Each structure stands twice: as structure tokens, then as C-alpha cells.
């Protein structure tokens, strides 16, 4: 598990070099949003109803990196706190994701900014470096495990 | 002051034509009158004298269509037909006028159709411009909000990091002292940038 480093802000005035690059960021944003939404929904469930996979997933989040097992109730509370702390960012990501799904116009600047935010927020919650989620399959994996019921 | 266009050739010949027609008709009547009333201008036919008591031979036959009495009637009838002849011309003019009117009507319909089409195109273009304008406005707002969030994110990440560190210490302490209560987590703290209306379920 890598430590969080100070993120370099993206340049919103710089457009995508190709349509493929833009498509990749759309996939990243949608996957990251799915993971974030799953984690927020998971935090609303009582921890004793979490499945083994869900407990293992959330149990690996900070501060578990310090080698101390964290009780699920504490992790649930941390997730709720994250949802509150990153509320504005989550709303922005959600709105952009909805517009992408509805095939509305989303500018490059919006997509660059909100994809970056989505990766940063997901990375902060899961205790990873944001570059870890440049591969959107990893965000999909988080979403799938957060949905894995008993 | 504008110069008037020269009248059409038919109009220019109208008066001489009518004078000539009147002259011919008058001549026709005059010749008929002279032929009927005087010994001049007669049309004679050779008749075989009848052998008998009468020495005078008179040849009679049905009136020819061009005999003066009939001709007078014909001319009179023709004169009376002048308005009808005009009427014959008038239907032509009327028909032409009707055609012009029909043409004008179809042109007006065409103009109306084009105006309606233009109006529809205007409305369509206007709504498209409105949609694009709204999308641009929304995008601009979104970019501003994104930039604000991007600027604020490092502070929030630092706050979370601090919170995680303290949480780790507390959990570690709780583990050793078997205490599970965590006052810091019971009442989550808010940053100065937190939205008071934020809900925990952004979906």
C-alpha cells in the first residue's frame, strides 16, 4: 500500500489529445464513481451485516496501514466521515457522471477536473495513491467487492 | 420624374382599327343602300322571258343572306353583338385576370409557406442555440466548482490524513485498554469549507 502524496492539480485548460484519451477518462470517472457510491452505501449498512469480502475490503483502508486491525464499526464511521468531508466533490463527480450517462455535453475541462477529483477521493478513502486508479479496473474491483454480499 | 413606358403595339392600333372597322361597316351599309335605292350598283341575272300575256318578266327568289334587308339586320345584330364581342374578349381578360389572381394566390401561399418554414427554422435554431448556451453555462459553472474543489482538496486530504493518524493511535490505545468508545468519531468534525447542507448520500 502506498502512502498518499501531495497531488499535482490538473491543468483544466489543456484539452485531451485524442478521443481515445477522453474515452479512457470517461471510463475512469464512471468506475471511480461506482466504487465511491458502493462504499458510501456500505457505510450506511450496520457493520455486523457486512459480508466477509466487504469487511476485508474496508478493513484494509486507513488507518489499517499502521498494522493495527480496525473494528468495522470504526471503519463505517470513517467512511461516513469521508462522505461528509468530500460531499461537495462527490456531488460534482456524480453530476458529471450522470451527464455522461445521459450523453449530454461534458467539456474536456470538466472531465479532466472531475476524473482527477474522483481518483483522488477514492484514493484517499482507500489509502492508495491516485495513480493506482489510473487503471479503472481497480476501481471496478473496489465497487464489485463493496457489493459482495454474504 | 420617371419616364412612362411606351404603350403596347395592340393599344396603339386600337383606335385606327376601330375607325377602319366602322368605315368598312358604313361603306357596306352605304353600298347596300345605294344598290337598293338607286339604279346603280345592281347585281343582275339573265332571265328568260315568259311567253304569254305579260310582257314584263319578274324573277323572284328567296332572300339571300346577303340581301340588303337581311344585311341590315345582320349589321344591326352585329352592332348589338359588339358588347358581346367585348364580352367574348372580356371572358378572355377575366380568365387571364383569374389566372393572374390564381397565380397571385399561389405566390401568396408560397410566401406564407416560406415564412412559416423560416419561422420554424428560426425557432429550431433558437432552441438549439438555447440548449448550447445552457450547456455552456452549466459547463462553465461545473469547471469553476471543479477548480474550487481541486484547490481545496489538498487541505481536506491533509485533514483526513491527520484524522486517520489520530484514529490509528486511538484504536491502538483502545486495543490495549479494551476501550471501544471514540469521542472523535462519535461527532465527526467539519472543515471550514464543508457545505452545511451536505448529505452523506450524494446519489
Q: Which of B143, B164, B185 sits opposite A62 (nearest CB)?
A: B164
pLDDT at B180 over 90: no
CA distance A89 to chain B (A): 6
Give the pLDDT of residue B90: 53
- Please report the pLDDT score of residue B164 as a whole number: 86
pLDDT digits (tens, 9 = 90+) for B92-122: 555 555 556 677 788 888 888 888 888 888 8
Nearest CA in chain B to A104: B135
Distance between CA atoms of residues B116 and B2, nearest Å:
37
Closest among B203, B167, B157, B162 to A36, alpha carbons compared: B203
Spatial contact of A47 and A58, defined as CB atoms under 8 Å apart: no
The answer, for A47 touching chain B at a CB cutoff of 8 Å, is no
User: Which stretches in chain A have pLDDT values below 70?
Assistant: 1-5, 65-69, 149-150
Provide the pLDDT for residue A72. Answer: 85
**Nearest residue of B to residue A127, measured between CA atoms:** B161
Residue B185: pLDDT band with limits 50, 70, 90 = very low
Whether B17 has its CB under 8 Å from any CB of chain A: the answer is: no
What is the predicted pLDDT for the residue at B83? 57
Are B198 and A74 within 8 A, CB to CB?
no
B156 sits in which H/E element: helix B82-177
Average pLDDT, chain B: 70
The pLDDT confidence band at residue B85, using thresholds 50, 70 and 90, is: low
DSSP-derived letter for residue A45 is S
Residue A30 CA neighbour count, 13 Å, CB half: 12
Distance (Å, rounded) from C-alpha B58 to C-alpha B117?
A: 87
What is the secondary structure of A62-131 as a DSSP string?
Answer: TTGGGS----HHHHHHHHHHHHHHTHHHHHHHHHHHHHHHTT----HHHHHHHHHHHHHHHHHHHT--GG
Is the CB of B172 less than 8 angstroms away from the CB of A7?
no
- Within 8 A of A6 by CB-CB distance, chain B residues are 154, 157
Lowest-confidence pick of A91-105, B32-46, B55-69: B55-69
Contacts of A106 in chain B (CB under 8 A): 139
Judged against a pLDDT cut of 60, whether residue B135 lies above it is answered with: yes
C-beta neighbour count of B159 within 10 angstroms: 16
In contact, A85 and B160? CB cutoff 8 Å:
yes
Q: Is A87 in contact with B194 (Cβ distance < 8 A)?
A: yes
Query: In the structure, what pLDDT confidence band is assigned to residue B67 with cuts at 50, 70 and 90?
Result: confident
Contact flag A85-B159 (C-beta cutoff 8 Å) = yes
Contact A143, A31 (CB under 8 A): yes
- Per-residue pLDDT tens for B138-153? 888 888 999 999 999 9
Which position has the higher pLDDT, A46 or B177? A46
Q: What is the mean pLDDT of residues B3-24?
A: 71
Instruction: Give the burial class of B135: count Cβ atoms within 10 A of its Cβ; 0-12 exposed, 13-18 middle, 19 or more buried.
Output: middle
Nearest CA in chain A to B196: A84
pLDDT for A17: 93
Do the Cβ atoms of A90 and B182 come within 8 Å?
no
Nearest to A115 by CA among B190, B94, B19, B146: B146
- Shortest CA distance to B65 belongs to which of B73, B57, B54, B76? B73
Amino acid at each position: 500500500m502506498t502512502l498518499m502524496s501531495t497531488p499535482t492539480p490538473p491543468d483544466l485548460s489543456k484539452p485531451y489529445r485524442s478521443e481515445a484519451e477522453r474515452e479512457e477518462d470517461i471510463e475512469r470517472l464512471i468506475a471511480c464513481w461506482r466504487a465511491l457510491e458502493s462504499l458510501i452505501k456500505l457505510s450506511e449498512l450496520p457493520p455486523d451485516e457486512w459480508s466477509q469480502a466487504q469487511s476485508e475490503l474496508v478493513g484494509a483502508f486507513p488507518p489499517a496501514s499502521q498494522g493495527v486491525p480496525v473494528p468495522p464499526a470504526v471503519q463505517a464511521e470513517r467512511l461516513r466521515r469521508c462522505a461528509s468531508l468530500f460531499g461537495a466533490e462527490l456531488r460534482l463527480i456524480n453530476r458529471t457522471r450522470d451527464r455522461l450517462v445521459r450523453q449530454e455535453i461534458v467539456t474536456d475541462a470538466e472531465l479532466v477536473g472531475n476524473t482527477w477529483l474522483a481518483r483522488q477521493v477514492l484514493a484517499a478513502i482507500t489509502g492508495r495513491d491516485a495513480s493506482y486508479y489510473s487503471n479503472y479496473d481497480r476501481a471496478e474491483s473496489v465497487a464489485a467487492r463493496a457489493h459482495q454480499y454474504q | 420624374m420617371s419616364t412612362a413606358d411606351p404603350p403596347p403595339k395592340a393599344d396603339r392600333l386600337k383606335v385606327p382599327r376601330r375607325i377602319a372597322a366602322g368605315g368598312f361597316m358604313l361603306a357596306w351599309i352605304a353600298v347596300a343602300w345605294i344598290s337598293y335605292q338607286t339604279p346603280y350598283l345592281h347585281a343582275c341575272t339573265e332571265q328568260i322571258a315568259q311567253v304569254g300575256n305579260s310582257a314584263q318578266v319578274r324573277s323572284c327568289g328567296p332572300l339571300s343572306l346577303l340581301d340588303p334587308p337581311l344585311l341590315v339586320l345582320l349589321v344591326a345584330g352585329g352592332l348589338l353583338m359588339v358588347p358581346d364581342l367585348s364580352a367574348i374578349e372580356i371572358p378572355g381578360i377575366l380568365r387571364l385576370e383569374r389566372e393572374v389572381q390564381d397565380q397571385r394566390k399561389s405566390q401568396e401561399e408560397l410566401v406564407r409557406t416560406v415564412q412559416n418554414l423560416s419561422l420554424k427554422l428560426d425557432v429550431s435554431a433558437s432552441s438549439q442555440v438555447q440548449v448550447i448556451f445552457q450547456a455552456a453555462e452549466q459547463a462553465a459553472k461545473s469547471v469553476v466548482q471543479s477548480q474550487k474543489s481541486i484547490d481545496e482538496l489538498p487541505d481536506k486530504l491533509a485533514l483526513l490524513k491527520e484524522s486517520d493518524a489520530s484514529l490509528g493511535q486511538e484504536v491502538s490505545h483502545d486495543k490495549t485498554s479494551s476501550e471501544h468508545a471514540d469521542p472523535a468519531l462519535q461527532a465527526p468534525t467539519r472543515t471550514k469549507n464543508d457545505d452545511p447542507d451536505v448529505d452523506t448520500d450524494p446519489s
